[in-house]
Structure 1
Amino acid sequence: MSREYIDHLKQLFTEVHENTMKDLRSTDKEYSEILRSIIEESKNVEGIIDCLDDEDKEFFLRYKERRGRIEWIEREMLYFQGLKDCVKLLRFLEII
Protein backbone atom coordinates (compact mmCIF):
# COMPACT_ATOMS: atom_id res chain seq x y z
CA MET A 1 0.00 0.00 0.00
CA SER A 2 1.19 3.48 -0.76
CA ARG A 3 1.96 5.91 2.03
CA GLU A 4 -0.74 8.26 0.69
CA TYR A 5 -3.34 5.49 0.90
CA ILE A 6 -2.33 4.65 4.47
CA ASP A 7 -2.48 8.35 5.46
CA HIS A 8 -5.96 8.58 3.93
CA LEU A 9 -7.10 5.50 5.89
CA LYS A 10 -5.74 6.98 9.11
CA GLN A 11 -7.59 10.24 8.44
CA LEU A 12 -10.76 8.25 7.79
CA PHE A 13 -10.22 6.33 11.04
CA THR A 14 -9.84 9.59 12.96
CA GLU A 15 -13.13 10.89 11.59
CA VAL A 16 -14.93 7.61 12.30
CA HIS A 17 -13.43 7.53 15.79
CA GLU A 18 -14.53 11.10 16.59
CA ASN A 19 -18.08 10.43 15.36
CA THR A 20 -18.27 7.15 17.26
CA MET A 21 -17.11 8.73 20.51
CA LYS A 22 -19.61 11.58 20.04
CA ASP A 23 -22.39 9.01 19.58
CA LEU A 24 -21.14 7.04 22.58
CA ARG A 25 -21.27 10.12 24.81
CA SER A 26 -24.85 10.81 23.77
CA THR A 27 -26.16 7.23 23.99
CA ASP A 28 -24.26 5.54 26.85
CA LYS A 29 -25.14 7.06 30.22
CA GLU A 30 -22.44 5.18 32.16
CA TYR A 31 -19.72 6.23 29.73
CA SER A 32 -20.91 9.82 29.78
CA GLU A 33 -20.92 9.95 33.60
CA ILE A 34 -17.44 8.43 33.85
CA LEU A 35 -16.13 10.89 31.27
CA ARG A 36 -17.68 13.81 33.16
CA SER A 37 -16.04 12.59 36.40
CA ILE A 38 -12.65 12.32 34.73
CA ILE A 39 -12.93 15.85 33.38
CA GLU A 40 -13.74 17.14 36.87
CA GLU A 41 -10.94 15.11 38.46
CA SER A 42 -8.40 16.32 35.91
CA LYS A 43 -8.15 19.61 37.83
CA ASN A 44 -6.98 17.69 40.90
CA VAL A 45 -4.54 15.66 38.80
CA GLU A 46 -3.05 18.87 37.38
CA GLY A 47 -2.57 20.14 40.94
CA ILE A 48 -0.78 16.94 41.91
CA ILE A 49 1.46 17.16 38.85
CA ASP A 50 2.30 20.76 39.70
CA CYS A 51 3.55 19.58 43.10
CA LEU A 52 6.14 17.32 41.51
CA ASP A 53 9.69 18.47 40.95
CA ASP A 54 10.65 19.21 37.35
CA GLU A 55 12.27 15.83 36.72
CA ASP A 56 9.30 13.84 38.03
CA LYS A 57 6.85 16.10 36.22
CA GLU A 58 8.72 15.61 32.95
CA PHE A 59 8.82 11.85 33.51
CA PHE A 60 5.10 11.66 34.24
CA LEU A 61 4.07 13.81 31.28
CA ARG A 62 6.31 11.81 28.93
CA TYR A 63 4.78 8.58 30.29
CA LYS A 64 1.25 9.95 29.87
CA GLU A 65 1.95 11.02 26.27
CA ARG A 66 3.47 7.64 25.36
CA ARG A 67 0.62 5.78 27.01
CA GLY A 68 -1.91 7.81 25.04
CA ARG A 69 -0.03 7.16 21.81
CA ILE A 70 0.03 3.41 22.47
CA GLU A 71 -3.72 3.43 23.15
CA TRP A 72 -4.32 5.28 19.87
CA ILE A 73 -2.17 2.82 17.88
CA GLU A 74 -4.01 -0.11 19.48
CA ARG A 75 -7.39 1.48 18.63
CA GLU A 76 -6.33 1.96 15.01
CA MET A 77 -5.14 -1.64 14.76
CA LEU A 78 -8.36 -3.02 16.24
CA TYR A 79 -10.46 -0.90 13.89
CA PHE A 80 -8.57 -1.99 10.78
CA GLN A 81 -8.55 -5.62 11.92
CA GLY A 82 -12.31 -5.36 12.33
CA LEU A 83 -12.61 -4.12 8.76
CA LYS A 84 -10.50 -7.03 7.49
CA ASP A 85 -12.54 -9.52 9.51
CA CYS A 86 -15.78 -8.02 8.16
CA VAL A 87 -14.60 -8.45 4.57
CA LYS A 88 -13.55 -12.06 5.30
CA LEU A 89 -16.94 -12.79 6.82
CA LEU A 90 -18.80 -11.22 3.90
CA ARG A 91 -16.72 -13.31 1.48
CA PHE A 92 -17.32 -16.45 3.52
CA LEU A 93 -21.06 -15.76 3.43
CA GLU A 94 -20.67 -15.13 -0.31
CA ILE A 95 -22.18 -11.66 0.01
CA ILE A 96 -19.20 -10.12 -1.75
Structure 2
Amino acid sequence: MSGAVLAQLIAQGQAGGTDRLTLRAIAEEAGELGATRALTRLGLADEGAERDMAELRELLAAWRDAKRSAWKAVVGWLCAALLALLAVKLGLSELVK
Protein backbone atom coordinates (compact mmCIF):
# COMPACT_ATOMS: atom_id res chain seq x y z
CA MET A 1 0.00 0.00 0.00
CA SER A 2 1.33 3.42 -0.88
CA GLY A 3 0.69 6.72 0.81
CA ALA A 4 -1.45 7.96 -2.12
CA VAL A 5 -4.75 7.61 -0.27
CA LEU A 6 -3.29 9.29 2.79
CA ALA A 7 -1.92 12.16 0.72
CA GLN A 8 -5.30 12.58 -0.97
CA LEU A 9 -7.12 12.69 2.38
CA ILE A 10 -4.68 15.26 3.77
CA ALA A 11 -5.10 17.41 0.65
CA GLN A 12 -8.88 17.11 1.00
CA GLY A 13 -8.64 18.17 4.63
CA GLN A 14 -6.50 21.18 3.80
CA ALA A 15 -8.67 22.28 0.89
CA GLY A 16 -12.10 22.23 2.45
CA GLY A 17 -11.50 22.38 6.16
CA THR A 18 -11.14 19.22 8.12
CA ASP A 19 -14.23 17.54 9.52
CA ARG A 20 -14.32 14.64 11.96
CA LEU A 21 -14.87 12.02 9.24
CA THR A 22 -11.85 13.20 7.26
CA LEU A 23 -9.66 13.21 10.37
CA ARG A 24 -10.77 9.69 11.19
CA ALA A 25 -10.02 8.51 7.65
CA ILE A 26 -6.57 10.14 7.82
CA ALA A 27 -5.83 8.43 11.12
CA GLU A 28 -6.98 5.03 9.83
CA GLU A 29 -4.98 5.30 6.61
CA ALA A 30 -1.89 6.51 8.48
CA GLY A 31 -2.19 3.66 10.97
CA GLU A 32 -2.59 1.04 8.26
CA LEU A 33 0.30 2.46 6.25
CA GLY A 34 2.53 2.53 9.35
CA ALA A 35 1.59 -1.03 10.29
CA THR A 36 2.30 -2.26 6.77
CA ARG A 37 5.69 -0.54 6.76
CA ALA A 38 6.58 -1.98 10.17
CA LEU A 39 5.60 -5.52 9.14
CA THR A 40 7.60 -5.16 5.93
CA ARG A 41 10.68 -4.00 7.83
CA LEU A 42 10.35 -6.96 10.19
CA GLY A 43 10.02 -9.34 7.26
CA LEU A 44 6.46 -10.28 8.19
CA ALA A 45 4.61 -8.94 5.16
CA ASP A 46 4.76 -12.11 3.05
CA GLU A 47 2.21 -14.92 2.90
CA GLY A 48 4.27 -17.24 5.10
CA ALA A 49 4.41 -14.75 7.96
CA GLU A 50 1.25 -16.02 9.64
CA ARG A 51 2.62 -19.58 9.72
CA ASP A 52 6.00 -18.30 10.95
CA MET A 53 4.36 -16.39 13.80
CA ALA A 54 2.30 -19.45 14.77
CA GLU A 55 5.47 -21.57 14.88
CA LEU A 56 7.27 -18.94 16.95
CA ARG A 57 4.37 -18.88 19.41
CA GLU A 58 4.52 -22.67 19.69
CA LEU A 59 8.27 -22.54 20.29
CA LEU A 60 7.83 -19.86 22.94
CA ALA A 61 5.11 -21.88 24.67
CA ALA A 62 7.34 -24.98 24.63
CA TRP A 63 10.26 -22.95 26.04
CA ARG A 64 8.05 -21.63 28.85
CA ASP A 65 6.81 -25.14 29.66
CA ALA A 66 10.37 -26.49 29.72
CA LYS A 67 11.52 -23.64 31.94
CA ARG A 68 8.62 -24.21 34.34
CA SER A 69 9.36 -27.96 34.48
CA ALA A 70 13.04 -27.31 35.12
CA TRP A 71 12.26 -24.98 38.02
CA LYS A 72 9.87 -27.54 39.52
CA ALA A 73 12.56 -30.23 39.25
CA VAL A 74 15.18 -27.98 40.89
CA VAL A 75 12.83 -27.12 43.75
CA GLY A 76 11.98 -30.82 44.18
CA TRP A 77 15.67 -31.77 44.31
CA LEU A 78 16.42 -29.02 46.81
CA CYS A 79 13.56 -30.12 49.05
CA ALA A 80 14.71 -33.75 48.89
CA ALA A 81 18.29 -32.74 49.69
CA LEU A 82 17.18 -30.59 52.62
CA LEU A 83 15.01 -33.39 53.98
CA ALA A 84 17.91 -35.84 53.64
CA LEU A 85 20.24 -33.46 55.48
CA LEU A 86 17.67 -32.96 58.19
CA ALA A 87 17.22 -36.72 58.56
CA VAL A 88 20.99 -37.22 58.86
CA LYS A 89 21.23 -34.36 61.35
CA LEU A 90 18.47 -35.92 63.47
CA GLY A 91 20.14 -39.33 63.35
CA LEU A 92 17.57 -40.86 61.07
CA SER A 93 20.10 -41.93 58.43
CA GLU A 94 18.25 -45.19 57.75
CA LEU A 95 15.46 -43.10 56.16
CA VAL A 96 17.88 -41.49 53.69
CA LYS A 97 18.63 -44.77 51.92
Bucket of the pairwise TM-score, normalised by the shorter protein: 0.3 to 0.5
Q: Which has the larger radius of gyration?
A: 2
When you count helix as a share of all residues, which structure comes out higher?
1
TM score, norm. by length of structure 2: 0.42
**Higher relative contact order, chain-length normalized (CA < 8 Å, sep 6+):** 1
